[in-house]
Chain A
């Protein structure tokens, strides 16, 4: 009987320690303001007419995390295009403009955190010139107005704006594929001899460790090591861009889908044709793991506590 009382005492003590740890963690890791998840994605925009004005629109999905008691939701969002003031004040005016409209929001509660999925249509006008000049300049920030009236500039990650109607004269798309093991591939054929060069990789240093990207079997690191002339291709040759999940940093990703965007520049030989941009979007879906722990580790890594 004495031994059992000792066992009970130890169990009660352990339970009390768990209780106190739980209460400590609850208040120590409380989230005071919404935190947007850094995502790398391509925003494909179409051209249309609205109120006798040419506008561009494309669907986009973003995610953000709030505390359980935080009832704030996004009321309005204006994407801050590169070279646009970031203070979210009235200075953010004049073309080009890109807003999130037709917003839909769903939430998933994970104990003390709530993961919001915000989807909608990014709609804007006057940024045709921006599209031409900013192939390698992603949108990284947005001015967000919440339902409680507060306004703040949020880091989004990398949103590459690409026009669907852009012409690809130098490259012909052959196929695209993906595997559940975490690889994605795009096969193209070049119509004229030229050089492929890495233009922009939309991911942070840590996020880059998650994916190994190759161009015709040559890794980006190897391509960068050379004399930066890029990869030479002959007319009719196949160009294969492939991303493979390595997951070195993946445990920190709070979402089931982790994506990466890469922009390549194809420079045809001679001066007859202009350089063309090739956009590649790789990703990996994984459903395993405790989502609360993933959210907590991600927020801790971002230093929001």
Chain B
């Protein structure tokens, strides 16, 4: 794994692990997303940027920051049982996550064309999972919500795989 991807990988891992004690969330997902956010800056320093214009890039950063803030806000309120519509509220970070992770995978595929299939898969599967999660919220189907959450976790694994897999430039010397 490349050093510049470490924060991205550990951030996604932290955001996916939920540790709670007697209902108190000890490891809120916002910490993971914050680490991921700083990882994005590391990538930018290394010259890796999403394929977006100046304005798009600004919006992308804003979306990543909103992901950290919205998940943090939701986690903070849920600790004090102040949020009664937790499931509906969780749609906001989920949509932001989809957008941010999509452009991240797209960025990786520039240097690693073999990840194109993974990118296509992520777009379709995560899109279906986010929509399914939204529909399950309207009909309050607990089973579907859990199913969609599992699929979302699988999609995060796809992003992790894209971040962990070595780039073509790195692989060639290894093979040589």
A residues sitting closer than 8 Å to B (CB atoms) are 1, 4, 7-8, 10-12, 14-19, 21-23, 25-26, 68-69, 110-112, 290, 292-293
In the bound complex, what is the Cα–Cα distance between A64 and B124 (angstroms)? 43
* B78 at the binding interface (Cβ < 8 Å): no
Query: Which of the 9-residue segments B18-26, B41-49, B98-106 touches chain A?
Result: B98-106
Please count the residue pairs between chain A and chain B whose beta carbons lie under 8 angstroms apart in the complex: 78
Q: Which of A1, A8, A16 has the most CB of B within 10 A?
A: A8
| 14 contacts across the A-B interface (CB closer than 8 A) | A1-B51, A8-B127, A11-B130, A12-B127, A12-B130, A15-B134, A16-B95, A18-B134, A19-B91, A19-B137, A26-B88, A110-B140, A111-B87, A111-B140
Q: Is the CB of B131 within 8 A of A14?
A: yes
CB within 8 Å for A22 and B84 given contacts A8-B123, A8-B127, A11-B130: no
B1 interface residue (CB < 8 Å to A): no
What residues of B have a CB within 8 angstroms of the CB of A7 in the complex? 123-124, 127
Q: Cβ of B3 < 8 Å from any Cβ of A? A: no
Which B residues from 106 to 124 make CB contacts under 8 A with A? 106, 119-120, 123-124
Binding site for A on B (CB under 8 A): 51, 84-85, 87-88, 91-92, 94-95, 98-99, 102, 106, 119-120, 123-124, 126-128, 130-131, 133-135, 137-141
Question: Given A8-B98, A15-B94, does the pair A21, B138 have CB atoms closer than 8 Å?
Answer: yes
Q: Is the CB of B139 within 8 A of A293?
A: yes
Considering the complex, give the chain B residue whose CB is closest to the CB of A25.
Answer: B138
Q: How far is the CA of A14 from the CA of B98 in the complex (A)?
A: 13
CA distance A110 to B85 in the complex (A): 13
Taken together as a complex, chains A and B put the C-alpha atoms of A60 and B127 apart, in Å, by: 49
Does B106 lie within 8 Å of A26, measured CB to CB?
no
* CB pair B137 A15 closer than 8 Å: no
Q: Please report the C-alpha to C-alpha distance between residue A26 and residue B95 in the assembled complex, in whole angstroms.
A: 20
